[in-house]
Amino acid sequence: MNEERLVDDMRTKLKGGGYRSRTVSLSHVRDLQQGIEGSSVRGLLDEQFYQEELTGFSFEHPDVPRRVRSLVVVAAPQPQIRIVFTIRGEPQPVMIPPTYVHGTDKRVEEILASVLNPAGYRIARATLPLKLLAVRSGLGDYGRNNICYVRGIGSFHRLVAFWSDIPCLEDSWREPTMMERCGDCRACLHSCPTEAITPDRFVVHAERCITFHNERDQKFPAWIDPSWHNCLVGCLRCQEACPENIPFLDWVENDLVFSEEETSLILESTGRDRIPSETAKKLERVGMLEYSDILGRNLRVLLARKEKPT
């Protein structure tokens, strides 16, 4: 099979699964590295946030086994997830934003392998700044909230990227762009409870984002009002307010239920190694097992907010 047809088949099969994709030349990896490191040098990123969140990327490609020639970046549509905890016999639903369920990564990898491997080509998972890669590849655009939006699915998606030895036949690399409708819209800015999104700069103050704080194993800063918490991890406020997401706001799935006993274990912040296997499998299904050490803290805050008199 010639390479042009192979790449077309890959795109067609991904599209058939509901996925959007772009392929870019390996030569742009340094652009990604400079984009992240340059923002830090220019003082646009809080140093603590940078060190904790943005220093784990790997810009050196592996052997796959032939010479790597490209990067494939894919957006997999993903809904909000509702899970239900049981407290004193009463159901307590909580939300998880799109992007956390990583089972889609494996499905994307399987689709790519099913097309490329029989033709002698290979892929390997890439640990790169995915939002920046998606925007610069033309797959998506930034919103004013610095979240990546993909046409037709808004911000309701999960990004994954792969190194590959397939050729890049149409390189769509470009400068980072913001959605046109963001020009005169301030919806996300006004919805952000922590004022992480400000009108004076495009890069958000990530160190003020609730997501940064409720994903880390640290005490919440005193300046965070408990009423601002709205998800088990992450935050939905700016995504719920964004006009681009209106068609997808009712896309909620799962309703996975945790029993009273399971809920008690999670509230006690039981370590991952002490969680019963069936409970661990349920947490893994919704992408929460890796956060098991902090789920109790986060859930207690959400429950206290619900119980507070109005």
Say what the pLDDT of residue 310 is: 45
Strand order across the beta sheet in which 123-125 lies: 20-25, 70-77, 157-164, 123-125
Compute the average pLDDT of residues 75-86: 97
The mean pLDDT value of the chain amounts to 93
The pLDDT-based confidence of 99 (bands split at 50, 70, 90) is very high
pLDDT digits (tens, 9 = 90+) for 10-47: 999 999 999 999 999 999 999 999 999 887 656 788 88
The CB-side HSE value for 219 (13 A sphere, CA atoms) comes to 3
Who's near 204: CB < 8 A, 6+ residues apart?
145, 146, 196, 197, 198
Q: Provide CB contacts within 8 A for 245, sequence distance 6+.
A: 154, 155, 156, 239
Span 98-127, mean pLDDT? Answer: 95
Domain boundaries, the chain: 3-307
Digit-coded pLDDT (tens) for 37-54:
887 656 788 889 889 899
- Please give the share of the chain, as a percent, with pLDDT higher than 90: 82
Residue type, 253: E
pLDDT (tens digit, 9 = 90+) per residue, 254-310?
889 999 999 999 998 777 888 999 999 999 999 999 999 999 999 999 999 866 544
* Nearest-angstrom CA–CA distance, 68 and 167: 9
Q: 166: burial class by Cβ within 10 Å (0-12, 13-18, 19+)?
A: buried
Torsion angle of alpha carbons 16, 17, 18, 21, nearest 10°? -80
Conformation bin of residue 269: beta by default, left when phi > 0, alpha when psi is -120 to 50: left
Residue 137: is its pLDDT beyond 50? yes
Q: Tell me: the pLDDT tens digits for 54-79?
A: 989 999 988 766 789 999 999 999 99
Residue 290, exposed/middle/buried by CB under 10 A (0-12, 13-18, 19+)?
Answer: middle
Provide mean pLDDT across the span 196-200: 92
Angle between helices 130-137 and 29-41 (to 10 degrees): 120
